[in-house]
Structures are given as structure tokens and as C-alpha cells.
Amino acid sequence: MDATDFIMGDAVRRLEAALAGYTGASHAIACASGTDALMLSLKALNLAPGDEVITTPFTFFATAGAIHNAGGRPVFVDILPGTFNIDPEAVAAAIGSRTRALVPVHLYGQMAAMEALMPLAKRHGLAVIEDAAQAIGARRRMAGGTPMAGTVGTTGCYSFFPSKNLGAWGDGGMIVTQDAILADRLRRLRTHGGAKQYRHDEVGFNSRLDTLQAAVLLAKLPHLDRWNAARRANAAVYDAAFAGLKEVVTPPVDPANEHTYHQYTLRVARRDALVVRLKEQGIGCAVYYPKALHQQPCFAPLGYREGQFPATERATAEVVSLPIYPELPEAHRDQVIAAVREFHT
């Protein structure tokens, strides 16, 4: 405040360096939101009308909204019912002559099968934009290492929306990449296409990060691994408490993944009734997502029909996410467990 350094100030540069260090990426580019991180990454591909970008219909709207706003056509493929993440075989079947990129989403905090998607992308010359909005800190055993979500593809996109595992006090986002030339382009695109003031090499956007948000995130980042571990500990207690309950499936973790449980998401047979019961008891719970993206009115022109993505549609009817945040008091966790168990016995 004293330095009147409100936007893109020194703390933003320090946050970019800290995020590069934390994730293991060579370059980190701060921007205004996770949505913008996706949109800028996709804009950098110079999509032409009719170019296709393959993604999952079981995600937050921003994933496909960014594809549309970057000038691409979203092509949806179904998910794997276990992890809720995009099915690599369905991706392979959907690649065509207009395909330019893949946008896997690491949903709920566990990574998609990147070891299957990356060779596909390489073979077909496609960019891979990782939507890691929900998965900062998550890792996957692959290619002889355990890379972090966001660092495997062409770019990785994080969201600092306040409820995320690393949340700001407002909107914020970050792109990471190993590609220095792409990083320069992304820096230009986020500030109206100009590397220098009053010189615009191309038309870009206003997607700056507030210095205040960077300062908040710099203070929180050192705690992120501990908070993610606390989420995993809460998940382990839930898993044990719900094991064997009829009509309840706890969230499966792919053994290659270190899950960060942005959400702890059950599949249940009588979902809507359970949500009502939990809410009656003052228990915060939410459905991510009750409608898939191929079912959204704005994407009707894409021509998808009901029943086309059975695993996705089934998930929209069965999922419910329970409180999992790191500071969740034990008594509250016990109350959640008691309520879910009582409903199912």
C-alpha cells in the first residue's frame, strides 16, 4: 500500500519465481484467474476457425469456455468412471485432421493419465494444456519420475480462486511452462500484447495479477504441502468410515497418483436425498457437477445428444463432495461421517 504497487508489483515477480520453484517448471506467468491461464495458453496456439480442442465434459465450465473464447471448437470425450478424468482411449478415437490440442483436467486433485495422453499428442503434433486448477501440488508416477500436475504438458494452468487448495483473497491464476519462447509470448498476451510499454506487437488482453493477491499467496505457499497432507488424512478417515456402506463408493485413487483432494467426492445411489439430509443438519456439501458441459444450452450448437457420454452422465447423477479442508475440526468430520452412515443404514 505504501509503495502504491497495486498491480503486477514486486510480490507478483516473487510469486512467479516461487511457483516455478515449487512446481519444477522453468517459467511461471501470473495472470488474473485460472480461466485466463487456460484462455491465454489456448490463444498462444493461434487457433483458426474450426480448429478442435479435445477435453472432458465433466469439469467446471471454464475449461470449455476458454477453448471457445480462444477461437477453438470444444470436442468432448467421456471420462474414466474411476478417477473421473478424461479417458485416453476416447481421446485417441476423437483425434482428427482439425485437432490442435488436448485439455486434460486433473479433476478433484488427482492427475489424468498423462503418460497415455502425451505420446498421443506427440504423435499427432498436438499441444497439451493441463487444466490443473484443482490440482496444485498433485503428482503422478510416470516416465521414471513423479512430475507435478501442470508441468507435463505444453502449459499448466492453476487457479487461485479462494476455495482452491492454494487460494488468494480474490481471483488469480498462473501458467507454467518449460518453453522460454512460449513464456515470453504469454507475458505479452497478458498485458495487451506488448513486451514494452506503448508498443503492441499483437493484440492481447488485460490479465494482470494484483500485488495484494501475490502477497497473500506468497505467505500461504510454504504451508501448501502440509495442507494437502491434512486433506489426505481427512480422506483416509472418510474412506475407512464409509468402507462397506451399501450404495456408497469412496473416491478411487489411481495408484500412480498422489491425490490432493481439492474435493472428496462420493458416488451414492440416492444423491439428491442425501444432499437434502446433510443440508438439514447444517453440513456443507456440494455437487460438482450436476450438469455436464455437452448438456449446457450454450454448447447445443456443437450437436451432442443425451446419452453420448454415459460415464459422465452417470457421474453427474451420483457425485457429492464432502467437507475436506485441512482445518476441518475432528468433531465436524465425525458429524459428517455419522450423517452419511445414518442415511445409508
Kindly list the residues in this chain that would bind ligand PLP in the complex (CB under 6 A). 33-35, 59-60, 62-63, 105, 131, 133-134, 159, 161, 171, 173
User: Could you tell me the smallest distance in angstroms from the CB atom of residue 64 to ligand PLP?
Assistant: 10
3-state secondary structure of 83: coil
Q: How far is the CB of 117 from ligand PLP (least distance, A)?
A: 16
Smallest gap from Cβ 288 to ligand PLP, in A, equals 8
Query: For residues 22 and 289, which CB has a smaller minimum distance to ligand PLP in the complex?
Result: 289
* Cell numbers linked to 205: 488482453
Cis peptide before 289 (omega within 30 of 0): yes
Omega before 22 cis (within 30°)?
A: no
Helix 224-242 and helix 330-343, axial crossing angle in degrees, nearest 10:
30
| Calpha distance 14→288 (Å, rounded) | 33
In whole angstroms, how close is the CB of 108 to ligand PLP at the nearest point? Answer: 9
- Dist. CA 248–CA 216, nearest whole Å: 38
Q: How far is the CB of 270 from ligand PLP (least distance, A)?
A: 26
The residue (of 22 and 161) whose beta carbon lies closer to ligand PLP is 161
Q: Shortest Cβ distance from residue 310 to ligand PLP (Å)?
A: 21
Q: How many angstroms separate the CA atoms of 340 and 278, rounded?
A: 8
C-beta of 51 vs 171, nearer to ligand PLP: 171
Could you count the other beta carbons within 10 Å of the beta carbon of residue 202?
12
Least Å distance between CB 269 and ligand PLP?
26
Query: Cβ closer to ligand PLP: 103 or 339?
Result: 103
Taking the CB of residue 219, how many other CB atoms lie within 10 A of it?
Answer: 10
Please tell me the distance from the alpha carbon of residue 85 to that of residue 323, in angstroms, as a whole number.
Answer: 21
Residue showing cell 471420462: 79
Q: How far is the CB of 262 from ligand PLP (least distance, A)?
A: 8
Task: Give the DSSP letter string of 137-179.
Answer: T-EE-BTTB-PBTTSSSSEEEEE--TTSSS--SS--EEEEES-
Would you call 52 helix, strand, or coil by DSSP? Answer: strand
Q: Which is nearer to ligand PLP, 95 or 112 (CB)?
A: 112
- The CA distance from 161 to 172, in Å, is 6
Strand boundaries in 3-142, DSSP class E: 27-31, 52-55, 73-76, 99-103, 127-131, 139-140
Closer by beta carbon to ligand PLP, 159 or else 211: 159
Question: Looking at beta carbons only, is 75 or 133 nearer to ligand PLP?
Answer: 133
Q: For residues 309 and 343, which CB has a smaller minimum distance to ligand PLP in the complex? A: 309
User: For ligand PLP, which residue has the nearest CB?
Assistant: 34
